Copies of this chain bind each other. A is one copy, B any other.
Amino acid sequence: MNLVDLQRRKITLEEHEIPENYYNIVADMPNKPLPPLNPATLEPIGPEALAPLFPMELIKQEVATDRYVEIPDEVRHIYSIYRPTPLYRAYGLEKALDTPAKIYYKYEGVSPTGSHKPNTAIPQAYYNKQEGVKRITTETGAGQWGSALSFACSKFGLECEVYMVKLSFEHKPYRKIMMNTFGAKVFSSPTNLTEAGRKILAENPETTGSLGIAISEAIERAASDPDTKYALGSVLNHVKLHQTIIGQEAIKQMEKAGEMPDIVIAPFGGGSNFAGLAFPFLRLNFENGSNIRCIASEPSSCPKLTRGEFRYDFGDTVGMTPLLPMYTLGHNFLPAPIHAGGLRYHGAGVIVSQLLKDKLIEAKAHDNVEVFEAGVLFARAEGIIPAPEATHGIATAIAEAKKCKEEGVSKTILFNLCGHGNFDMKAYEDFFAGKITRHELTKEEILASLATLNTPTID
């Protein structure tokens, strides 16, 4: 008989250990976020502007100042379909790197749609249902967010309408079918169903669509029907709030593992995935004087955190939103066509931007080729093919682990593996075919994009 004790690779929690509250970092921030501004008057605007689009409870959360927001029982019950998610010690990756560092990762790919997005889709669907909403609309590009909301709506008996950018609709049919499987209606945007869509189609019947157009359609639909609301999958404060369930679980799991991370890492797009893991660890820094480094990992071809400017800018590309105080490359910035899904967004969420400004978090950019090399190394070592977005966090973790080896020190590194790559194999195909190449963004390109802004700067 073989009585060897296996190393403990996976640290799990029971359903009753699903956190009972979301953590609202605003309560602990030394400098609170600046207010959003009305782009016409440049006056601060209040949450009431959001009322036509979102249920009241989410609007309250958007401006909440309490440290904790209770998670409703029904939401925790739906969470229990996939939460608590596992935390892994990356023995395979440590061995492949021959590093003295201890590497852990929190794995959000076990969710029904394979990423962290259901963490906010579920409470958003719940609060809409509570307030009598019948239908939620949203936009989706690659499909990650649309599929998460489709799943969440199916659990609460809500209709779900997804406006999917035509180019993706035609080139990424499997995400669309996943949404159909969960019962959602998916439209190729622009459609004939909205004024915005009809206008675009009249001007250019051959358009392949854009996220901006899809947003306009989803918002128009919600604004014109009292039974319909709209939902957003990143950037906003309430979205980040919901994602803090990730980091709160991770703290319990690290405690079970008997240690705390020196470095916490997550990929960075709009900020919700990073916020989700990092904010609860930042709470430890605020409360206990811990000194945990939190690093946001972004693509070097869309480097708003490492090379952008902290100023007011629009949240969308067409200039319909309030002006938000954020690190931005300018809302007209168009990143190179890289395989990094949501990481191609021009700006960073408001809270994360303020934290970076105050040097409470760090940021690191990685080249396109470097992240795919990290992804393939990780897949072979750990047996999970990561989503292209997730490879950015892996690249930072590998860089820090290599530094440990060079310096001969052992640090504990934790990163967020925010999703699997099962629906992203085309990206790996391109990588193996040599179609993914290094991309150097010049200082001039960034300055040119920022020069197009006439929005307020911040001292």
Contact = CB atoms under 8 A, between A and B. Distances in A.
A95 to B, nearest CB: 11
Interface string A334-378: 000000000000000000000000000000000000000000100
A380 B20 CA distance: 25
A133 interface: no
Interface stretch (A178-186, A407-415, A446-454): A178-186
A254 interface: no
A251 interface: no
Chain copies in the assembled complex: 2
Given A2-B20, A92-B81, A182-B380, A425 B177 contact: yes
Interface string A234-249: 0000000000000000
B4 A15 contact: no
Given A81-B92, A383-B82, A428 B180 contact: yes
Contacts of A292: none
A379 interface: yes
A164 to B, nearest CB: 15
A181 B385 contact: yes
Interface residues of A, number: 56
Nearest to A2: B20
A70 interface: yes
B16 A5 contact: yes
A4 B76 contact: yes
Interface of A: 1-10, 12, 14-16, 18, 20-21, 70-73, 76-77, 80-82, 92, 110-112, 114, 151, 154, 173-174, 177-178, 180-183, 376, 379-380, 382-385, 420, 422-423, 425-426, 428-429, 432
10 contacts: A12-B12, A111-B383, A173-B429, A174-B426, A174-B429, A178-B385, A181-B376, A181-B379, A181-B428, A182-B380
